[in-house]
Amino acid sequence: MNMVERAFGLVKETGRKAFVPYIMAGDGGLECLTDRLVLLEKFGATAIEVGVPFSDPVADGPTIQRAGIRALKSGTTLKGIIVELEKAREAVSVPIILMTYLNPIYAYGIKSFVKDIQKAGVGGCIIPDLPLEEESIIAPKLEEAEVELIRLVTPTTPIDRIEQIASKGRGFLYAVTVKGITGARNGFDEELFSFLQKTKEVSSIPVLAGFGISSQEQISHMTQYCDGVVVGSKIIELFNNNDLKEMEELMSALNHSAKMA
């Protein structure tokens, strides 16, 4: 059982809701990565998603794109990120989930990539441009290394395919909340909540909603239909503004919800 499976198995067992913040590695300099990971764990993160800057981030909205550009301009590389994550592992106990596109992995070398992230203590990997039909190029290697491949479904994914994708995971299923890219939204339509409910019904692992979630109200509402949330653009914005108090309040939204339940 890998660390992501353990962490989200506990979420399912206790009925608590998960909060997974996303940060862009190298935004603000790689030297601040460990401090940010430690802070997010202190604020109650179930796991932390760490983005790898890429020149063609097809799933990312303006906030994360700008963070990636800043990171690339500061000289951030995949190799450098992995080295920093290995250093951070001693100070951070929650699972680290690396989010990267396929191109940087190919450039790094699939075998070397898996070997190095395993050595660095990375618990999971999200590869948004890796379709189910092609994941055999890396999924068996990740499984052997006990690194969980986190798979994504969207509101346009047919229910039988959602069930097929969910059956392959052991950590959590990432349910994309919008038909588009990341970025804060003012609200979500009712179709989304139906999608989350149906996804949860067919998934044997926890379902987390991500993309566009940016307020305590949205988190509280969203988690009525799923097992937790992934929040990215808002976390990046709060780090850039050094608004750590609001970040802590945002991440405590689930605690408030639990007390009200």
**Residue 181: CA count within 13 A, CB half-sphere:** 12
| Closest to 207 (Cα-Cα) out of 224, 190, 221, 220 | 224
Of 95, 91, 81, nearest to 1 (Cα)? 95
Structure tokens at 116: 């190095």
Distance CA 56, CA 225 (A): 32
Active-site residue, 49 included: yes
Q: Catalytic one among 5, 27, 41, 60?
A: 60
Q: What is the DSSP string of 133-156?
A: GGGGGTHHHHHHTT-EEE-EE-TT
Rg for the chain (alpha carbons), in Å?
17
Catalytic residue among 49, 84, 116, 227: 49
What three-state secondary structure class fits 212?
coil
Q: Do the bridges between strand 96-99 and strand 173-176 make them parallel or antiparallel, or are there none, so unpaired?
A: unpaired
In sequence order, what are the residues at sequence separation of 6 or more whose Cβ sits closer than 8 angstroms to the Cβ of residue 51?
22, 23, 24, 25, 64, 67, 68, 99, 100, 232
Would you call 31 a catalytic residue per the annotation? no
Give the residues across from 24 on adjacent strands: 51
Query: Annotated catalytic sites, by residue?
Result: 49, 60
